[in-house]
Amino acid sequence: MALVSDIVSSVITELSQVPGVATQIYASDRIRQFVQNAYRMEISEMWWPKYMFYQTVGIDGTTGSITSDIKGPRNFVDDYENIAAVYKDGSNRKLREFPQSVNPNLMNTGMSTWYVAPDYGVPHRPFRVYPTSSTYNVVVWARDSETLPLTNGSNVGIDDLLLTYDACWMYAVDDGTVPAQVNKYQLLAQKRRSRLKAMLAQQPLELDPRFPSGAIVYDEPQQDWFTLDVDPLA
C-alpha cells in the first residue's frame, strides 16, 4: 500500500521539479489527477490479488437476484465488470455468461445449466442468476476498489512504482518538450507492468490432476507440472 501524496512526490522528483507537494502549487493537483487516472487504468488491467475477495450470497427464488450486498474490505461492489467469477456453492464450475440471443423468460425451472447476467435494479447487487427460480447459494469472486476521487491521504494497492511511471508519462506527454522522456516513461511503465504480471504467475500449474505426483509413479521431476519463467535449457 502507498499513499497518494508519496506517489505525487515521487512524480515531482522524477520530473526534476522542486521536491515537496507544497512547493508545486499548480502541478500537484494535476499530478494527483494523473495518479488517479493511472490507478483507474491499471486496476482494470487484471485481477490484482490485493483487491480481490470471496463472498457467499443467497439467491432469491422468485427474481433470481442475490439476497445480500456484495461488499469488499474497502467498498461495495456496484459494477458487473468487477465480478470475476460466480460459482454454485459446492461446485468448482463457474456459472456461464447469459447469452444476449436467449429470451430470459424462457429460462424455466428444471434446467441443468445456470447463468449469470448483469442486474442494476438494486444497489450493490450487480448481477442475477438464471433460471430465476434458483434458490441455492453462490460464491462470488469480486473486486472492490478505492473511494474516488483519490486524496493525498488515500492508500492504493496498485504498485506505487507503476503508478509513478504512468503519471510521469502522462505529464511528459502533455509537456511535450522532451520526446525521449515520453518514450522513457512509457517503456518503464510497460516493463514494470509485465514484471508484476509475471510475479503473480510464478507458481507451478498442474497439467493433469488425475496423476498423483511423487517418486512412486515416476522419478522424473516436474513431469506433471508446468512452471512459468523457467528456461528449459538452463
Looking at residue 76, what is its pLDDT?
97
Mean of pLDDT over the chain? 85
Confidence band (pLDDT; 50, 70, 90) for 105? confident
Domain chopping of the chain, boundaries? 49-143, 158-200
- In tens, the pLDDT along 106-160 reads 776 556 788 999 999 999 999 999 988 888 899 999 999 999 999 999 999 999 9
Peptide bond into 149 cis (omega under 30): yes
> 76, 74, 96: which is closest to 85 by C-alpha?
96
Confidence band (pLDDT; 50, 70, 90) for 171? very high
CA 225 to chain centre: 26
> 168, 209, 210, 207: which is closest to 187 by C-alpha?
168
Looking at residue 225, what is its pLDDT?
53
Lowest mean pLDDT among 47-61, 176-190, 191-205: 191-205
Task: DSSP letter for 202, please.
Answer: -
Tally of residues, the chain: 234
Looking at residue 219, what is its pLDDT?
47
Looking at residue 226, what is its pLDDT?
54
> 157, 78, 154, 169: which is closest to 120 by C-alpha?
78
Nearby residues of 125 by Cβ (< 8 Å), 6 or more positions away = 65, 66, 68, 69, 70, 119
DSSP SS3 for 184: helix
